[in-house]
Amino acid sequence: MLRIVKRLVVLLVVVAVGFGAWIFLGFDHSIPNGGVIANEVLGIRGAVPKNASDVHVQASSASWIRGCAQIPGAHSGWSTDETGITFKDSDPHSVVVATVSRWLRRAGFARDDSRPNRHEGRTPHWTLDVHSVHLVQAWLFPVVRKTHEWYLSASWRPSGPVGDGCP
């Protein structure tokens, strides 16, 4: 009987080690339709008004990142698809918001403005269903109130753990 228990314990240890090795070495860290979703996030560049100037785009695609060994408790996981665009447009605020909104609506986004706190107005916000656990979120706001500088962003996070990475 003791011999059978020892064999079962050895078998369980081998299975656990094999499963752990598969997770850390052989697990497929890919995102179903990841390229399509990344293109949707990057595609918000088209929403920038045609007469905008001083346009700057920063973008990154979601990827699997390992936890940072220098930070205790850091986790491996996914980064986020992100696109951030700054631009200048001298049109009135309502015209800029309407122009961006029209483009995003044609691209399949649904408008769902939010109010960060009760003392501020509503912030233009849109979502896009990409048939995933998370929606693509897009935001538009002036960099500084009462200026003609704008920030338009879109982001999407894959399902699964969020990676901490190293600073």
Please list the pLDDT of the chain residue by residue as tens digits (167 residues). 667 766 665 555 554 554 444 444 444 455 555 566 777 778 899 999 999 999 999 988 888 888 888 888 888 888 888 999 999 999 999 999 999 999 999 999 999 987 767 767 788 999 988 887 788 899 998 988 777 999 999 988 888 888 877 77
Q: Are residues 59 and 2 in the same domain?
A: no
Note whether residue 162 is domain-resident: no
Q: Are residues 23 and 48 in the same domain?
A: no
Task: Tell which residue, 16, 37, 74, 21, has the closest CA to residue 159.
Answer: 37
Q: Are residues 74 and 1 in the same domain?
A: no
Note whether residue 164 is domain-resident: no
Q: Are residues 24 and 39 in the same domain?
A: no
Quote the number of domains for the chain.
2
Q: Are residues 13 and 47 in the same domain?
A: no
Give, as one character, the DSSP assignment of residue 131.
S
Kindly report whether the global pTM for this prediction surpasses the value 0.85.
no
Q: Are residues 15 and 78 in the same domain?
A: no
Q: What pLDDT does 35 receive?
A: 63
Residues facing residue 155 across a β-bridge: 82, 137
Q: What pLDDT does 69 receive?
A: 80
Domain that holds residue 2: 1-29
Q: Are residues 102 and 39 in the same domain?
A: yes
What beta strand segments (E) does the chain contain? 53-60, 64-65, 77-78, 81-88, 110-111, 125-128, 136-142, 149-156
Note whether residue 145 is domain-resident: yes
Q: Are residues 23 and 39 in the same domain?
A: no
